[in-house]
Each structure stands twice: as C-alpha cells, then as structure tokens.
A and B are shown apart, each in its own frame.
Chain A
C-alpha cells in the first residue's frame, strides 16, 4: 500500500493568510492525487483532482501542485469557512489511500 503523509497535522492561521499543506507519497504516484475538505460531522468534499485541477464550484483561492511524491494544497487567502480539516488521497495504485489529515485552526 502507498502511504500518504501530510504535514503539518495542525496549522494555526488567521483570516487572510496564505497557507500551504504538504502531502508526501511513499512512492511516486505521478500526478494522481486528490484533495478533500471535511467539516465536522460532514462528508468530505472534493477540492482538487489530478494534483492541480480545481473541481467545479470550488473557489479559486484553492490550488494544488506537485508530482511524483510531493504535493501541496495552497489556500491563497483564508476565509472563515476554510478552518477545517483537509485530506489528500492517492489514486495511482489500489488500494486508494488517504493522508491522515491536516486541521487548519484559527490562530
């Protein structure tokens, strides 16, 4: 199985900040990576697929980059609605695996 490691586990930031979350794969996954946002008690919401493609309806302040083993999710200007948890997921090879999550909290 491909292990996905996110860092940091928790990130403290303020409204308006630019934040970056990193996801590292245990082996190369080319660009087969998705990012999800999950609010407490809710289902995950797809933000980014194929490492950098923005899902329809997702605000443009979200962006993704990377290839191979290192990927980033960037929020260009944090909004109040963005303080929640984010997960990466690789879909290069089965079983499809997720990172452990990064919680973005208010500083």
Chain B
C-alpha cells in the first residue's frame, strides 16, 4: 500500500526559504500512473493547492505562489520536494503531499498526514 510522509523543519524565520520533502513508500514516484501535489492548510482555514509535478518532471503551479515555489522529484530517494522562498507569517500552515492518478483528472485520492510549518522569528 502506497504511503506518503511529509517532513520539514517545523519552524522557519521570515524571509527564509522553506524546504519540505515527501517520502513515498510502497511504490515508485516515477510511475507513469501518478502525479504528485503539494497542498497546504493554514490553521483553522481551508485548503490551497500549491502545485504539482508529473512523472515526466513537468510542473504546474498555483499562479498566486508561482514566483516563490519550486517542486521537484528525487527519484533515487523516492521523494518529492517543495521549496518556498521568502516566507512570511501567511505561509504558516500544515503542508500536505498528495497523489493524483493520471487517469483521474485533478482530484487527490491519497494524502500524507501533513507537517506543520510555522513562520516566526
């Protein structure tokens, strides 16, 4: 059974760059069956799609974050990474990685448990 596990620093200072990883177990991230996504949820608020990456490495970003976001894959480590630059308090959120099946259009059928990132000095 494929599982997703996010990891990150927990606390990031304003203006710094946030790095998160999502480790995929039970399957290969290079499978042509899946795309991968990062989605976040500020405390007490709704969900925001950040961006996605395909098995070919093609990336798709939310226009509201595009200038600050980079999503990449590390195939040998079976990981998906998120880099978010120039963070502010508004970037405080639980960050989830999620899976989209290629055949299933753009909804997300499997999610990690999320990792809380707090931006504070």
Which residues of A are at the interface with B, using a C-beta cutoff of 8 A?
A: 1, 32, 34, 42-46, 49-50, 55, 87, 89, 91, 94-101
Q: Which secondary structure characterizes the binding site on chain B?
A: loop
CB contacts under 8 Å to A, within B102-121, are 104-109, 111-114
**B residues near A97, Cβ cutoff 8 Å:** 49
Q: Which secondary structure characterizes the binding site on chain A?
A: loop
- B47 and A44 within 8 A (CB): yes
Count residues on chain B whose CB falls below 8 Å from chain A CBs. 21
- B107 and A101 within 8 A (CB): no
| Given A43-B96, A43-B113; A91-B48 close (CB under 8 Å) | no
- A55 and B109 within 8 A (CB): yes
- B111 and A44 within 8 A (CB): yes
Contact of B107 among A43, A89, A94, A100 (CB under 8 A): A89
- A46 and B109 within 8 A (CB): yes
CB contacts under 8 Å to A, within B18-68, are 45-49, 60, 62-64
- A96 and B46 within 8 A (CB): no
- B46 and A46 within 8 A (CB): no
- Min CB–CB distance A66 → chain B (angstroms): 15
**B residues near A44, Cβ cutoff 8 Å:** 47, 96, 108, 111
Q: Whole-angstrom distance between the alpha carbons of A59 and B116 in the complex? A: 30
Q: A43-B98, A94-B106 are in contact. List 7 more A-B contacts (CB 8 A).
A: A32-B105, A43-B111, A43-B114, A50-B105, A89-B108, A94-B62, A100-B46
Of chain B, the residue at the smallest CB distance from A85 is B46
Q: Whole-angstrom distance between the alpha carbons of A98 and B49 in the complex? A: 8
Q: Which of B46, B60, B109 has the most CB of A within 10 A?
A: B46
- B46 and A91 within 8 A (CB): no
- Min CB–CB distance B80 → chain A (angstroms): 15
Contact of A95 among B49, B112, B113 (CB under 8 A): B49
